[in-house]
Amino acid sequence: ALTIGIVGLPNVGKSTLFNALTRASVLAANYPFATIEPNVGVVPLPDERLNKLAAVFGSERIVPATVSFVDIAGIVKGASEGEGLGNQFLANIREADAICLVTRAFADPDVVHVDGRVDALADVETIITELVLADVQTLEKAIPRLEKEVRGKKTDAAVLDVAQRALALLLTGETIDAHRAEFDAEILRPFGLMTAKPFIYAVNTDEAGLADKDFQATVRRQLAPADVIFLDAKFESELVELEPEDAAEMLTDSGQDEAGLDQLARVGFHTLGLQTYLTAGPKEARAWTIRQGWTAPQAAGVIHTDFQKGFIKAEVIGFEDLVAAGSVAAARAAGRARVEGKDYVMADGDVVEFRFNV
């Protein structure tokens, strides 16, 4: 499964957030290097549509898609030099498919900040600088070898060109992610650059920060085009301990429309380049995870490889059409059920039944 690595300076609330994500009860310790072991937390992707589908089909249970988070211990300045836990962090970050960078914007005199001040954007800069430096090192090592290979006609000149342009960009302090469109993803991927991964920013803030739209707009502007989520990790960790009804009430009382963890799962899922399609029946209403752009047979293969091999066709009803019609039969009668072949590219919210040979 694709994973999102949670990174950030020590004491910004990563473990608090991660514990909330997994509802695990690992103690969040109030000092740097509290979280050394990388752990994986798998959270459900919130999807209101499943409840509605289950109602239409009378499904016994709901099976949501999931998003996997890996808790990667805090990076410190100097990580790219291999100081302290640096190399292990970098190795763990390399394995993640996207990066969730947690920054601190909550004021709490009892929680020490490693750099002695609370400044979410400065936190981002500290970490990005380390990741950029690590990528610079990677490319500075690779380029002389590539130059040789290009001279010997063993490597395409386009590969060297990408490496050189990536290096020039990184030397200005910017991430590859922010300039994704300028690079051929296929050529770039084998370099394993960390700043070429998609980034999400999770700003761990407090009640005041959640209410401060100007602050949020400023941070968003600085970090665009990446997605930014504002949440209160401590609040989130309390929320997950409650029964759903009580949690919903507490959330409403706090003036938020959606729990921070739900936002994180939703945005993270999208950032990973994933989407879902839906199936439903009396047993279960279910969301299946596919990559954006996948065709019907590829999507069928997620349920079972035989579905892909023996794919004949898919009967597809848009979620809204199905709910409006009230049943599959009614949707069919209204001409809302489409039969799609092997070249059909799946759309988010397709409710599907596959036909296949066994």
- Closest CB 158 distance from ligand GDP, rounded Å: 40
Residue 247 CB neighbour total at 10 angstroms:
15
Minimum CB separation from ligand GDP for residue 269, in Å?
23
Which is nearer to ligand GDP, 206 or 340 (by Cβ)? Answer: 206
* DSSP labels, 219-243: HHHHHTTSEEEEE-HHHHHHHTTS-
What is the sign of the dihedral through the CA atoms of 290, 291, 294 and 298? negative
d(CA 135, CA 176): 10
Q: With CB under 6 A as the contact rule, which of the stretches 39-47, 83-91, 103-111, 265-273 interacts with ligand GDP?
A: 103-111
Smallest distance from ligand GDP to CB 18, Å: 7
For the record, the structure tokens of 152 come out as: 């010997």
Largest CA distance in the chain: 67
Nearer to ligand GDP, 160 or 239 (CB): 239
- Closest by CA to 183, choosing from 168, 164, 202, 162, is 162
**Min dist. Cβ of residue 236 to ligand GDP (A):** 8
Give the pair of three-digit tokens for residue 307: 């579905």
Is 15 annotated as a binding-site member? yes
What's the min distance (Å) between Cβ of 204 and ligand GDP?
Answer: 5
Binding letters toward ligand GDP, positions 105-124, x by CB under 6 A: -x-x--x-------------
- What residues have CB less than 8 Å from 99, skipping those under 6 apart? 4, 5, 7, 93, 194, 197, 198, 199, 200
Helix ranges restricted to H, 152-286: 157-170, 185-188, 207-211, 213-223, 233-239, 244-253, 260-271
- The residue written with tokens 């920013």 in the block is 201
- Measured between alpha carbons, how far is 93 from 275 in angstroms, rounded to an integer? 23
Q: Which of residues 37-76 bind ligand GDP (CB under 6 A)?
A: 74
Instruction: Tell me if 153 is assigned to a ligand binding site.
Output: no
Annotated binding-site residue? 16? yes
The number of CA neighbours under 13 Å toward the Cβ of 120 is 26
Q: Closest approach of Cβ 44 to ligand GDP, in Å?
A: 22
- Interaction of residue 301 with ligand GDP, rule CB under 6 A: no
Question: Is residue 11 part of an annotated ligand binding site?
Answer: yes
Using CB under 6 A as the binding rule, whether residue 30 contacts ligand GDP is answered as yes
The residues pairing with 292 across neighbouring beta strands, listed in sequence order, are: none
Q: State which of positions 162-201 bind ligand GDP (CB under 6 A).
A: none
Asked if residue 205 belongs to a known ligand binding site, the reply is no
Q: How far is the CB of 222 from ligand GDP (least distance, A)?
A: 21
Cβ-based nearer residue to ligand GDP, 86 or 301? 86
Site for ligand GDP in 204-233 (CB under 6 A): 204, 206, 232-233
* Binding residue count for ligand GDP, defined by CB under 6 A: 22
- Which CB atom, from 169 or from 239, has the smaller least distance to ligand GDP? 239
Answer yes or no: is 148 a known binding residue.
Answer: no
* C-alpha span between 9 and 21 (Å, rounded): 18
Element (H, E) at 351: strand 350-356
Return the residue of 1, 24, 29, 158 that touches ligand GDP, per CB under 6 A. 29
Answer yes or no whether residue 10 interacts with ligand GDP by CB under 6 A: yes
Q: Which residue is nearest to ligand GDP (CB)?
A: 13
CA dist 350 and 358 (Å) reads 24
Do the Cβ atoms of 104 and 12 come closer than 8 Å? yes
CB of 233 to ligand GDP, least distance (A): 4
Residues tagged in the binding site annotation for ATP:
11-16
Binding residues for ligand GDP, per CB under 6 A? 8, 10-16, 28-30, 34-35, 74, 106, 108, 111, 204, 206, 232-234
